A and B are shown apart, each in its own frame.
Chain A
């Protein structure tokens, strides 16, 4: 079974600085999708960024980018120019095809003003 591991239960960063959240996963598949979701106190899960495993180029969405290392099964999220509104729980997730998402345990990100 696929598993996703986030080894950092909590992270903090100064406003305007850069922070990297770690994620590793285990799968025997070659085609799959990886996601980072943000969950603010409102509980709503919001997609931050996604990566298709067949693409070598790392995905980027404005201040958010990933470092996807397929051989190492690593998928870290970099947040540049951190803003107060970035404070939330961040979940890394794996999906094979149009199936269920498998989530990591989450990382709580605090932004210090």
Chain B
């Protein structure tokens, strides 16, 4: 079956603009995660959705970052008023429910803020 997909693959934006990054998880996966990979910070957790539960937003770096998951499937990560330090690869992962389940990653969106 299809894996996790993300769009766009690459995004270049100007400082101060808003951007939206999209993640389509594997069908049937109830858990969805966003991570950020940057040169200075490595791989860091941003937010986690599990079914209808309230999301774990503990990793969001500032209130400029937000995410939603509609219908328990597609998720959008929004960054408002982008800054140059937001430049990174944003990775999405999904998994089925259960502590044993593996997180499967998408190819990521590379964001460059000029």
Contacts and interface: CB of A to CB of B under 8 A. Distances in A.
Contacts, number: 53
A97 interface: yes
B99 A97 contact: yes
Contact of A100 (B48, B98, B105, B106): B48
Query: Size band of the B side of the interface?
Result: 20 to 34
Given A91-B43, A100-B48, A42 B102 contact: no
A44 B105 CA distance: 6
A42 B101 contact: no
A45 interface: yes
Given A43-B108, A44-B107, A98 B45 contact: no
B65 interface: no
B97 interface: yes
A45 B37 CA distance: 11
Q: Describe B's contact surface by its main secondary structure.
A: strand
Nearest to B95: A98
Interface string A67-109: 0000000000000000000000001000001111111111000
Contacts of B108: 43-44
Interface of A: 33, 35, 37, 42-47, 50, 52, 91, 97-106
21 contacts: A33-B99, A37-B105, A42-B107, A43-B89, A43-B91, A44-B105, A45-B91, A47-B102, A47-B103, A50-B102, A52-B100, A98-B31, A98-B95, A98-B98, A98-B99, A99-B48, A99-B56, A100-B33, A102-B45, A103-B44, A106-B42
